[in-house]
Copies of this chain bind each other. A is one copy, B any other.
């Protein structure tokens, strides 16, 4: 089928949205869209539900066709028996696209479900109609306030779009990304993906000017050849980072039960992703951190990291973890040690690499400058802590100012790694990370997460340099 990206663009950036068949007491879809900046309609015929919908302040109509203006996006939450009739209405009204939350189709492996889905898919393809799903959480666009669940944050336009074969992972991605100061541009949970598949969303985000990088959670695809061809083309234009579900025999069995995707051996996937120039990750956290590194760190071209700021024990921990993840924490040049020796007080501190400054913490600017000038060092990391009694808000601000000034005059990537992340400091950490991000510096909440992100950024830039 011929996909009209202008229409899909209308659906991702709607001015009008209609929710069909939402139900109380939660009204999850209407409540999800209460942040929508455009005009929201409801379609519901059950008189008991209509009262609740009116109480929400949403205009209700007995059918899509009765709504007196054009609709960009329809969200369908009706039982599966009614889904085909709603699809017909969507086509008749010429809406831009419809997201079917409705489930009970091929994913149930029942004859009835398979037959119903085939009817809908055939009808949509025949009409060249953009059907999202079924059996999915649909679209999220924080700028216009359309959401997959009511708790997703809104009011910004980030650099990264996300394509997900799991509704939960789509929602969790928006939470974790926001927490790590990585704002989402748009995301889609595409469910059974029978009309629009992963490859279609890849192509859409490739041509979408406001999407600078693409994250994916994928379990499998019906048309592997087309997917990989598309991936190769898109990864040449923008970074694509892929979290593949079903990497193991146990995971593959679970995907059969989840989306029924074909389980290609993981070795084939790995080779294909590498050949396509996509970066592979193994968890949601690694996905978010890697996208963060690709968006905000200066390009990473070397594996040697200079680290300062942690305590003695933290310095040992980060050296081990960075090394275990394929990075180097090398000795500095003799010149650097000479420069350090001119002011470094040795009481309870270490001046190798990592540099545990101890009582020299007030000289952290000089120490970071020495790492910046060191010929053995490709990447700069300040290890710090937000909980510690030694790190007040004022000191964080001073560190931020120091790093921002450093960042403006160095080509070397600059990152901050927390020695420990205490959940009660999440707001302060988030504010600190946002300040840094706005100046091209990434914060990672643990040595392990920092190591993986920097390694993946190096892989990304390395793949491109070697071409």
Contacts and interface: CB of A to CB of B under 8 A. Distances in A.
A167 B165 CA distance: 45
B219 A107 contact: no
A200 interface: no
Contacts of A248: 319-320, 323-324
Contacts of A347: 80, 103-104, 108
Interface in A1-58: 26, 28
Most chain B CB atoms below 10 A, which of A331, A348, A420: A348
Contact of A175 (B104, B254, B328, B422): B422
B419 A314 contact: no
Contact of A168 (B110, B314, B323): B314
A33 B27 CA distance: 53
A270 interface: no
A106 B324 CA distance: 29
Interface stretch (A349-357, A361-369, A454-462): A349-357
Contact of A247 (B28, B324, B426): B324
B311 A167 contact: yes
A175 B423 CA distance: 10
Most chain B CB atoms below 10 A, which of A254, A321, A351, A426: A254
Given A250-B319, A347-B108, A151 B258 contact: no
Contact of A354 (B176, B254, B331, B354): B254
Interface in A175-193: 175-176, 179
Nearest to A330: B250
Interface in A348-390: 348, 350-354, 356, 387, 389
B109 A346 contact: yes
A253 B356 CA distance: 12
A270 to B, nearest CB: 14
Given A172-B419, A257-B356, A419-B168, A389 B26 contact: yes
A394 interface: no
Most chain B CB atoms below 10 A, which of A219, A247, A328, A419: A247
Nearest to A172: B420
Given A150-B389, A172-B420, A250-B330, 13 more contacts: A108-B348, A149-B389, A151-B389, A166-B313, A166-B316, A167-B311, A245-B313, A245-B317, A247-B320, A250-B320, A253-B353, A254-B350, A257-B356
7 contacts: A108-B347, A166-B311, A169-B313, A245-B320, A250-B328, A253-B319, A284-B420
